[in-house]
Chains A and B, each alone.
Chain A
Amino acid sequence: MERQNLYLMTLASLLLLSTAGLSMIGGYTLDVYVSMFTICYFVASTVFRPRRLTFDFVGVVLFIVFAYIVALRVLAILAI
């Protein structure tokens, strides 16, 4: 199987498992899901290193969103 197809299947499986797992546990907000998706995306991208036609804008967006979520959590902990 081509590496790119394997990458897509693995990414889809990871995303689905994350969604199913977190929803079964229940009680999580959307930012937790997005954080897990970010980890899944970067793990799959690092393992398979797919060749891309363009700049990895998905990775950049996910990283920015993840950083924003983490910053909000840190601020909440610091009670600012």
Chain B
Amino acid sequence: MAKVRYFSFGAGIAAFGAVVAFISYYFLFSVPFAALGVACVILGGATLTLPESPVPSGAVRGVIHASVMNVEALLEEFDVREKAVYLPPKEGESVAYVPLASNPHLPSVESLVNAPRRLVSEADGVPVLLVIPPGSELVRASELSEASGLEDAIQYVLTEVSELCSSAKAVVAGDRLVVEMRGIKVKTEAAKYLVTLGSIPASIAASVASAVLKRGLSLVSESIEGKDSSATFRLL
């Protein structure tokens, strides 16, 4: 599949339009041609602001499924029972840590960020398991930034990049993030994954949110009714 080079096309057509507009207005004295040049500049400028084409959705779903199964195998091996903490990307990669021991308080985000990147590490004296959720690669492929807007970013990744649900909404209230997803097209059959990191769409939404908000977050609860889900996260 050919990749659309938005930047090259936008820059080219904007430059072309600028030249046409200048020559038409000051030398040819033609307003319609000058307007055509201005239109090209506008089109080129609009194109420059668009991100490049994301990974095809079919391939994305395959990657997601494989990733979830890998994480599920790890969670089962270590018999984890605690909720994971999603961390914002560091050096382009976002990870999640799952406490391996019960503790009334989650390790601090700072200690998790500074924890050694090993399969089993320690943060605030609590052993933690490092997992790379499927949302990590989707965040990287989607070229998200803080300018994206939280709800727009979550909706884009869930409905257009991965096509995992029909619509998604996100609201931040205090230290809580609520994500509502409707028309979910994939069922999370990995039991431990569901309890620890949330359903697949919720997990991806958490990765997106941590990347956009630049904050850690942890799943509080998730309510799944048919093809709709409402997940609540605590912002750390």
Q: What 6 A-B pairs have minimum CB-CB distances, sorted nearest first? A: A23-B32, A33-B35, A15-B39, A58-B45, A52-B49, A53-B51
Render A1-37 as a binary contact track against B, CB cut-off 8 A, 1 for contact. 0111101100110011011001100001110011001
With the chains together, A57 CA to B143 CA distance in Å?
19
B42, B50, B148, B160: the one within 8 Å of A62 (CB): B42
Please tell me if B212 contacts chain A, counting CB pairs below 8 Å. no
Q: How many Å from the CB of B172 to the closest CB on chain A?
A: 19
Count, chain A residues at interface, CB 8 A:
34
Please tell me if B156 contacts chain A, counting CB pairs below 8 Å. yes
Contact, CB under 8 Å: B147 / A3 = no
A8, A18, A30, A51: the one within 8 Å of B31 (CB): A30
Q: How many Å from the CB of B227 to the closest CB on chain A?
A: 22
Count, chain B residues at interface, CB 8 A:
27
With the chains together, A30 CA to B35 CA distance in Å?
6
Give the chain A neighbours of B147 by CB distance below 8 A.
52-55
Please tell me if B191 contacts chain A, counting CB pairs below 8 Å. no
B38, B45, B46, B156: the one within 8 Å of A51 (CB): B156
Contact, CB under 8 Å: B148 / A28 = no
Contact, CB under 8 Å: B51 / A33 = no
A-B pairs with beta carbons under 8 Å apart, 17 shown: A2-B53, A5-B4, A7-B46, A11-B43, A11-B46, A19-B35, A19-B36, A22-B32, A30-B25, A30-B34, A30-B38, A37-B35, A37-B38, A41-B46, A51-B148, A53-B143, A54-B49
With the chains together, A29 CA to B65 CA distance in Å?
58
Render A42-80 as a binary contact track against B, CB cut-off 8 A, 1 for contact. 000100011111111110011000000000000000000
